[in-house]
Amino acid sequence: MVELAGAWKASSKNSNKAKIVMDAVRNSGSLYRDGLGMIASENIVSPMVQKVVGSDLHGRYAEGLPFKRYYQGCGDFDTIEDLGINLAKQLFKAPFANIQSISGTVSNIATLKAISNPGDDITAVSTADGGHISHARMGAVGLRDLNLSTYPWNEERMEPDIDASIKLIHDVKPKVALFGQSVFLFPTPLEDLAQAAHDVGAKVMYDGAHVLGLIAGGCFQNPLEEGADIMTGSSHKTFPGPQGGLILSSSKDEKFQRKLNNAIFPGTCSSYHLHHVAGKVIALAEFMEYGEDLSKNTVKNAKALGAALASEGFDVLAESRGYTASHQVLTRHGSLDSGAGAKAADLLEQAGIITNMNMLPGDTKAMSPSGLRLGAQELTRVGMGVDEMKDVARFYSRVLIDKEDPSSVKSDVKEFKSEYQTIRYCFNEDELSGYPL
């Protein structure tokens, strides 16, 4: 290591600041190592992904596309990105893939830049019904200055009301019909809705951020085969890679593909975090090998979790449809806008169970909602199965129904989790031997 001399040597005051950061990083790691990570938008990465994300690539640039760069020194990264593009096309059966985006939201911003102009009309799921914030005026839709109309919602089925949404599309004649959600229990009835959108000349955009891994694993729906022109996604939710995004398209039109590429660079990204791109490529390769089993088991576990929570006495949404067909489960803990979801999330964290409060249909206050949104993907990644979901549900019941001291439950959660410390569905660490980074 290069020594720092003179004025460059850290003072004890600044060293202490760095220590604060390192201690907090370690504490966060301990929280998730010893607890149950159940936030539906999170996942953990494999040892090999961790290696490349921590590599020298973290400080490098590669503006442009593979083999068409503005900088020198990009030849090795060309190999990485070109491989990743081809893997993504193969995995998602898509003629077009861009893996540069640094997040799902940036993917959405870039796509809206490519397919709409300020003042255009857009239809989407409202945030109250589970739409993502980037689908709203507060997010990417507002950034692009689009006129938003939201789909009528079928609360029992937790999906857009098909007939009423088709009528809305015919009436509004949007430039973009956006589907997909942040609260995402079931596949969208996409074929009829996409047909209606195409009938009025709209581009169909599907935000698959939450369910991208389930789509890739053949366990959800394939939007690009059901009428979507573009699918955006996150690489770190049910798809178990590093934080980042993707854009995929069913279009073979080279001019349209160039618009999508240009919307990422130079449209929304300059440096697009090469270390994360390399991590995505490793995750894509791992998913080609193990992703189908991971996705199937994630959905099985989520269904089992929903049923187990209902058996414990919780109000689990969408009972008539089997609670879920994705990685998510929704529970209601009090009256609308009561803040009961926030209180439940806080108590569970005290017990070592990490969740998030969430608005449910009928809630209007994002910071005091009635519900929780739970994800089964991280527990699945460390080897838990349907039997363990019953144990997890029992921990919830002890905290929220039996009103047991959370600290007592936390010690039992830690003991339970100690048996699940190995990341599964990925390449073995031994395969890294001979490849120091």
Are 281 and 314 contained in the same domain? no
**DSSP letter at 37?**
E
The pLDDT value given to residue 428: 83
Are 208 and 343 contained in the same domain? no
Residue that is last in its domain, among 285, 301, 321: 285
H helices then E strands: how many in the chain?
14, 17
Are 230 and 174 contained in the same domain? yes
The pLDDT value given to residue 433: 63
- Contacting residues for 167 by C-beta, under 8 A, at least 6 apart: none
Residue 25 lies in a domain: no
The pLDDT value given to residue 435: 58
Q: How far apart are CA 216 and CA 132, in angstroms?
A: 21
Are 232 and 144 contained in the same domain? yes
Are 268 and 304 contained in the same domain? no
Residue 15 lies in a domain: no
Residue 12 lies in a domain: no
19-51 b/e (C-beta count within 10 Å ≥ 16 → b)? eeeeeeeeeeeeebebbbbbbbbbbbbbebbbb
Q: What's the CATH number where 253 sits?
A: 3.40.640.10
Residue 196 lies in a domain: yes
Q: What's the CATH number where 367 sits?
A: 3.90.1150.10
Residue 199 lies in a domain: yes
Cβ neighbourhood burial of 256 (10 Å; 0-12, 13-18, 19+): middle
Are 278 and 301 contained in the same domain? no
Residue that is last in its domain, among 285, 301, 324: 285
Coil, strand or helix: which one is 403?
coil
Are 363 and 397 contained in the same domain? yes
Residue 164 lies in a domain: yes
Residue 423 lies in a domain: no
The pLDDT value given to residue 4: 52
Number of structural domains the chain divides into: 2
The answer to whether the CB of 293 falls within 8 A of the CB of 270 is no
Are 345 and 263 contained in the same domain? no
Q: How far apart are CA 395 and CA 399, in angstroms?
A: 6
Are 310 and 261 contained in the same domain? no
Q: How far apart are CA 151 and CA 146, in angstroms?
A: 15
Are 187 and 205 contained in the same domain? yes
Rounded to two decimals, the pTM is 0.94
Residue 122 lies in a domain: yes
Are 165 and 226 contained in the same domain? yes
The pLDDT value given to residue 1: 44
Are 273 and 304 contained in the same domain? no
Q: How far apart are CA 285 and CA 240, in angstroms?
A: 11
How confident is the prediction along the chain (437 residues), in pLDDT tens digits per residue?
Answer: 445 555 555 567 778 889 999 999 999 999 999 999 999 999 999 999 999 999 999 999 999 999 999 999 999 999 999 999 999 999 999 999 999 999 999 999 999 999 999 999 999 999 989 999 999 988 999 989 999 999 999 999 999 999 999 999 999 999 999 999 999 999 999 999 999 999 999 999 999 999 999 999 999 999 999 999 999 999 999 999 999 999 999 999 999 999 999 999 999 999 899 999 999 999 999 999 999 999 999 999 999 999 999 999 999 999 999 999 999 999 999 999 999 999 999 999 999 999 999 999 899 999 999 999 999 999 999 999 999 999 999 999 999 999 999 999 999 999 999 999 999 999 986 766 665 55
Residue 204 belongs to domain spanning: 51-285
Residue that is last in its domain, among 285, 306, 338: 285
